[in-house]
Structure 1
Amino acid sequence: MGHSTETGQGGQAHGSVKEYVTGLVYSLLLTIIPFAMVMFGIGDKPLVITVIMVTAVAQILVQLIFFLHMNTSSEQMWNTTSAVFVVVIVAIILIGSLWIMEHLNHNMLMGH
């Protein structure tokens, strides 16, 4: 009765309004922070890239926890395992893309 999630007819969990509002606030903050850094020129380039990457990963976690209601319960073991796999793949893609773009930038501007 005092739980934050209720189980519907299909067995899926539904969050409370407080949980959805908390997720919305976190999502907005994690969107506004890197946007403000880029728009107002706060910090140098490596710091901005790092903040964007960290807030992107945090945004994924917020979406999974607050809106998809993923947790570490035994019923959600496969969901949690697949979420970890997705986070690892996204990290590889992000880091690999940045690495490739940096090397392309360096190799294309050899004469400068």
Structure 2
Amino acid sequence: MKTLVHIHSGPEQPDKITLGALIAAVSAERGDEVTLFFASNAVHALASGTRETLEGVGFGALSDSLARFRAAGGRLVVSRLSSESRGYDDGFLPETAAWGTPEMLLDIAGAADATLCY
């Protein structure tokens, strides 16, 4: 199954971010082709210091779910427009992540069997 998990909520809503990341990790671990796309205020959650400390109630730490997601072969995409408009540059992009565009998000969503938004 092809799955898109689109996280657009900011760090002020840690449960949404960590739930989305956990679902993406579990989906990738079961063998699904998963893209985890961070956009809008969600890019703040990937900033150094926040990524390591963000934790949701009952959903664990963002860093743990991202590690599981990467280990399972998931594809992490970060909106370049969202990142740059919030003051982040190329050095901000997490390891193994790729920059994404609005067109890419639309293409991924169009090809997905399931799209989950948080």
User: Normalising by structure 1, what TM-score?
Assistant: 0.29
**Bigger relative CO (Cα 8 Å, ≥ 6 apart):** 2
Q: Which structure has greater strand proportion?
A: 2
Higher Cα radius of gyration: 1
